[in-house]
């Protein structure tokens, strides 16, 4: 029997404990999980693609149990459905935090099904302890000096604090 392969795509700028919760739960559904770190320049990421992939790898490597699932982190810069097909995936994993996420994700799943009807989208609801965590809020809280240690792994917290220090030290207030 062939491995069940899933792709969990995202910008992961940065990866949060909410993402890790979805990854941990997704390992129960597939034999091999590929975490696709997307370019997504439109979001103006704080970290480069390679930095985001490295932070994601470090966070995933630190996960205690992976339910016998092989996990790989791969950057990608093409259409999600093309990336998923290249990976041999049958499933796209998406996390939902709130009703507001559902409408966008529902439309995206419909478009993706048109592009490649052989790949299904599976939605995992965020755990109640992670429903409110978003990369955008983590960055905002961290940039303003708030404690983000309960929202991200320690490696990510340190990387964010370092990046924010670089921003403050730059002459124009923005890191280059």
Token pair for 113 = 């099904």
The residues with which 36 forms a beta bridge, in sequence order, are 9, 74
Residue 61's CB is within 10 A of a number of other CB atoms, namely: 11
Annotate 44-86 with DSSP letters as a single string: --SS-HHHHHHHHHHHHHT-S--TT-EEEEEEE-S-HHHHHHH
Residue 151 is assigned to a ligand binding site = no
Residue 43 is assigned to a ligand binding site = yes
Active-site choice (19, 57, 139, 157):
19
Active-site choice (25, 66, 74, 97):
97
Is 25 labeled as catalytic in the residue annotation? no
Q: State whether residue 156 is helix, strand or coil.
A: helix
Is 82 labeled as catalytic in the residue annotation? no
Is 52 labeled as catalytic in the residue annotation? no
d(CA 171, CA 128): 41
Residue 94 is assigned to a ligand binding site = yes
Residue 42's CB is within 10 A of a number of other CB atoms, namely: 7
Residue 44 is assigned to a ligand binding site = no
Is 129 labeled as catalytic in the residue annotation? no
Residue 80 is assigned to a ligand binding site = yes
Residue 82 is assigned to a ligand binding site = no
Of residues 68, 34, 69, the one with CA closest to residue 53: 34
Residue 11 is assigned to a ligand binding site = yes
Residue 164 is assigned to a ligand binding site = no
Active-site choice (28, 43, 82, 129):
43
Residue 96 is assigned to a ligand binding site = yes
Active-site choice (52, 57, 135, 157):
135
Residue ranges for the known binding site for ATP are 11-12, 19, 95-97, 105, 130-136
Q: Which residues are catalytic, by number?
A: 19, 43, 97, 135
């Amino acid at each position: 029997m062939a491995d069940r392969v899933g792709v969990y795509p995202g910008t992961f700028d940065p990866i949060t404990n909410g993402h890790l919760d979805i990854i941990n739960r997704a390992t129960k559904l597939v034999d091999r999980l590929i975490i696709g770190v997307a370019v997504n320049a439109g979001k103006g990421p704080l970290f480069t693609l390679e930095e985001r992939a490295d932070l994601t790898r470090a966070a995933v490597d630190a996960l205690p149990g992976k339910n016998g699932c092989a996990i790989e982190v791969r950057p990608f810069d093409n259409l999600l459905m093309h990336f998923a097909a290249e990976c041999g995936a049958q499933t796209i994993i998406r996390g939902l935090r709130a009703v507001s996420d559902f409408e966008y994700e529902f439309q995206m799943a419909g478009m993706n099904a048109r592009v490649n009807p052989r790949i299904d989208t599976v939605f995992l609801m965020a755990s109640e302890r992670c429903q409110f965590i978003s990369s955008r809020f983590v960055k905002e809280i961290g940039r303003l000096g708030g404690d983000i240690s309960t929202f991200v792994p320690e490696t990510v917290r340190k990387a964010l604090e370092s990046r924010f220090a670089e921003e403050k030290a730059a002459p124009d207030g923005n890191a280059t």
